[in-house]
Amino acid sequence: MTAKGGAPPSPGGLSGLANGRFFTVGLVTSWYSSNIGVLLLNKYLLSNYGFKYPIFLTMCHMSACALLSYAAIAWLRVVPMQLVRSRVQLAKIAALSLVFCGSVVSGNVSLRYLPVSFNQAVGATTPFFTAVFAYIMTVKRESWVTYLTLVPVVTGVIIASGGEPSFHLFGFIMCIGATAARALKTVLQGILLSSEGEKLNSMNLLLYMAPIAVILLLPATIFMEDNVVGITIELAKKDFTIVWLLLFNSCLAYFVNLTNFLVTKHTSALTLQVWHGISLFIVCSSHITGVQFCSSNWFTFHFSC
């Protein structure tokens, strides 16, 4: 095959294309791995370990994102620091932070009531919400094939919900809320990462977003999770492992958020969430946590694939 005008494609162009594809695959793999790790560790802390403070846990995640982003930009100079150009841009970042907080807190709360496998099955509907929000906010339509692929995923989740032996209504509502908020966040971050007038690279967006999220989460932590800091200190005195678990979990959450932004930038919001809904997550979670599927869950897995 020749390039436009009859000239064959240059070796440099082919090499650049291959490198770009390998980079994208590496990003997605890193995002998958870290996302699974954070999800399972959150479940362990909130359910198995007995640390039942999802808002405080989310605030730890955001604090780590703020500190590590600042260290990477200001000290290590991984990328140049970008300044917020307008109040409108700052308002968009604040809105993204608010939606993100709602998404993560709702997701962490749902893990207290639902198994990881079912949580991820419900999360597979994220592409549906992403498509809706993307059309509303950007009037951008995907190809009909993309929309067609959403039908078996959503149908499969409906079937799984009816046959889940550990179904909990409040946990399910929290999970649906987290799924919709995650979709809205993905669309918003896609706009902020691609808008020519307000473009921010991934690290700078996380740098500005994380402190706002901490400010939003702090009063919620104080009023809804009374004396959580004192309780955590007492737990650390009895078993210092909790400190290492929180530190590792928070650092891993930073890596998840960073790779999430990078994947969105190099693909699209809907593509990201279609990948997020791949049922491999469910199978991995089942094997690692020992959660058993009922027959309708297994049917959902094959149906969604």
User: For helices 202-224 and 87-110, what crossing angle results, to 10°?
Assistant: 60
Per the model's pLDDT, the better-predicted residue between 299 and 159 turns out to be 159
Cα separation, 244 vs 254, whole angstroms: 15
Question: Which whole number is the average pLDDT over 223-250?
Answer: 92
Check residue 305 and give its pLDDT. Answer: 40
Check residue 98 and give its pLDDT. Answer: 92
Question: Which whole number is the average pLDDT over 84-94?
Answer: 87
Would the pLDDT of 184 be above 60? yes
User: Can you list the alpha helix ranges (DSSP code H) found in 199-294?
Assistant: 202-224, 228-238, 241-266, 269-276, 280-289
Question: Which whole number is the average pLDDT over 158-162?
Answer: 65
Would the pLDDT of 245 be above 90? yes
Question: Which whole number is the average pLDDT over 247-265?
Answer: 83
Would the pLDDT of 288 be above 50? no
Residue 144, both tokens: 């009909």
Residue 213, both tokens: 């999220």
Per the model's pLDDT, the better-predicted residue between 200 and 219 turns out to be 219
Check residue 31 and give its pLDDT. Answer: 77
Question: Which whole number is the average pLDDT over 80-87?
Answer: 88
Per the model's pLDDT, the better-predicted residue between 260 and 137 turns out to be 137
Output the pTM of the full model. 0.69
pLDDT bracket for residue 11 (50, 70, 90): low
Check residue 232 and give its pLDDT. Answer: 93
User: Do residues 52 and 112 touch, judged by C-beta distance below 8 A?
Assistant: yes
- In degrees, rounded to 5, the angle at the alpha carbon of residue 163 between the alpha carbons of residues 157 and 169 is 80
- Name the one residue in this structure whose structure tokens are 């995640």: 61
User: Do residues 188 and 109 touch, judged by C-beta distance below 8 A?
Assistant: no
Query: 9-13, 124-128, 179-183, 293-297: which has the highest mean pLDDT?
Result: 179-183
User: Do residues 120 and 232 touch, judged by C-beta distance below 8 A?
Assistant: no
Would the pLDDT of 153 be above 70? no
Domain boundaries, the chain: 52-304
Check residue 25 and give its pLDDT. Answer: 76
Per the model's pLDDT, the better-predicted residue between 97 and 119 turns out to be 97
Query: What share of the chain has pLDDT > 90, as a percent?
Result: 22
Would the pLDDT of 298 be above 90? no
Question: Which whole number is the average pLDDT over 79-105?
Answer: 88
Length of the chain, in residues: 305
As a whole number, the mean pLDDT across the chain is: 77
Check residue 201 and give its pLDDT. Answer: 81
Query: What share of the chain has pLDDT > 70, as a percent?
Result: 72
Q: Which region holds residue 77: left if phi is over 0, alpha if psi is between -120 and 50, else beta? A: left
User: Can you list the alpha helix ranges (DSSP code H) found in the chain?
Assistant: 11-43, 54-70, 87-110, 116-123, 126-138, 144-163, 169-194, 202-224, 228-238, 241-266, 269-276, 280-289, 295-304
User: Do residues 66 and 214 touch, judged by C-beta distance below 8 A?
Assistant: yes
Check residue 216 and give its pLDDT. Answer: 92
200 to each of 197, 206, 283, how far by Cα in Å?
Answer: 9, 9, 36
